[in-house]
Amino acid sequence: MTQEHAEVLILGSGPAGYTAAIYAARAGLKPVMYQGMQPGGQLTITNDVENFPGYPDGIQGPAMMEDLRKQAERFGLDNRFGLATAVDFSTPLAHKVIIDENKEIIAKTVIIATGASAKWLGLESETRLNGLGVSACAVCDGFFYRGKEVAIVGAGDTACEEAHYLSKLCKKVTMLVRRDEFRASQIMQERVKNTPNIEILFNTETLEVLGSDGVTGVRVKNNVSGEESVIDVHGFFVAIGHQPNTGIFSGYLNMDETGYILVEKGTSKTNVPGVFACGDAQDNVYRQAITAAGTGCMAALDAERYLAASGSH
Ligand code: NDP
């Protein structure tokens, strides 16, 4: 196992990670970033971003992440592919992070910007057909089902937004809602209810995604009548929320019951000195690109102040 030292190690490359990198690099802290599982983060699987200040005409998610990457690299970010696979946060100013199981980085400070990932139902058929008609990203994969019928499971804002997006491409969208009501905001509910080619099935649980080398349908059960039925679809979308990517930090960092890292109020400080968290890994409320970027800035400033206070910079 090779070993290297870093002043500031940033894990994750979404808006939080890159903003932390821009601030840390401009402060002369020579940050090293490992981009993680999904370089560029969740925005790389989005299309239009219209609510990030500074883009009056909107921008495509992947293009925005390219801009952030270039901006951070302009100030000297050491930007690398690789995934943190284990950590040891027991030695202050010498936190250990294993990358891809073959490299150890010993970092004075660590900025966690590992984000969150889509949740799945946990059905065997869903896993088997993932990428063969099962998807957690309508914007990425909706195009493949143009003119076809699809189903989407979920009842939050994401499910409504994605159902509406799919309704513009697909012949028909069936929304599978497990309770007798939505969780989504009123405006999003109205939008799907008023879209003629979206059918909403309440009290409906997904039992199985059907098909062998592609999705042919979905077997569902009405939770009130107990009746089972099959809906013929070519695409099956899952939009039931996200899980923070924080598993490797458990045992060291305080987290809530879902795995979101707890930070000291108004800061990015975790319970371990020198370890800071930003973006969706610590935010289960706002989860926006702009709030992620804001907390990334906080993490870099907190890391800089911590290094200065410890006489390390
Ligand atoms: P949410 O946690 O808000 O909603 C998840 C939905 O999935 C719930 O309706 C839940 O059902 C359902 N669900 C969970 N597990 C299952 C399961 N096993 N089977 C069937 N259904 C299941 O997640 P979202 O991703 O929708 O939203 C996250 C946050 O982002 C929210 O705060 C949301 O407001 C925000 N957001 C805002 C947008 C906007 O304003 N434009 C767009 C997208 C997101 P149940 O209700 O029964 O628990």
CA distance readout (Å), 100 to 87, 106, 165, 178, 211: 12, 15, 36, 39, 35
46-73 confidence digits (pLDDT tens): 667 778 999 999 998 899 999 999 999 9
Domain ranges of the chain: 2-117+242-309, 120-238
Pick the atom of ligand 1 nearest to 160's CA. Answer: 26
pLDDT at 107: 98
Long-range contacts (CB closer than 8 Å, 24 or more residues apart) made by 224-228: none
Active site residue 137: yes
pLDDT at 46: 67
Is the CB of residue 287 below 6 angstroms from any atom belonging to ligand 1?
Answer: yes
Task: Enumerate residue ranges in the chain where pLDDT < 50.
Answer: none
* Amino acid letter, residue 6: A
Q: How far apart are the first and last CA of the chain?
A: 28
Long-range contacts (CB closer than 8 Å, 24 or more residues apart) made by 126-130: 126/209, 126/236, 126/238, 129/209, 129/211, 129/214, 129/215, 129/236
Pick the atom of ligand 1 nearest to 122's CA. Answer: 18
Question: Does 3.50.50.60 match the CATH number of domain 120-238?
Answer: yes
Is the CB of residue 179 below 6 angstroms from any atom belonging to ligand 1?
Answer: yes
Is the CB of residue 175 below 6 angstroms from any atom belonging to ligand 1?
Answer: no
CA of 83 relative to ligand 1 center, distance in Å: 28
In CATH terms, the fold of domain 2-117+242-309 is FAD/NAD(P)-binding domain (3.50.50)
Q: How many CB atoms lie within 10 A of CB 132?
A: 14
pLDDT at 287: 81
Common-topology check for domains 2-117+242-309 and 120-238: yes
Is the CB of residue 11 below 6 angstroms from any atom belonging to ligand 1?
Answer: no
Active site residue 160: no
pLDDT at 47: 65
